[in-house]
Structure 1
Amino acid sequence: MKIVRVQDIIGTEREVEGPGWTSRRLLLKKDGMGFSFHETIIPAGAELRLWYKNHLEAVYCVAGNGTIEDLATGEVHEIHDGVLYALDNHDRHILRGGTEDMRLICAFNPPVTGRETHDADGAYNLVVED
Structure 2
Amino acid sequence: MGRRSRRWRDDDPTAPGAPAPVCPLCDRAIPHRARSSLHHLTPKLKGGTHRGTVRLHQICHSAIHARFSEAEIARRLADVASLREDPEIVRFVEWVRTKPDDFHAATRLTRDRRAARRQR
**Greater radius of gyration (CA):** 2
- The structure with more strand, counted as a fraction of residues: 1
Greater share of helix residues, 1 or 2?
A: 2
TM over 0.5: no
TM range (shorter): under 0.3
TM-score when scaled to structure 2? 0.28
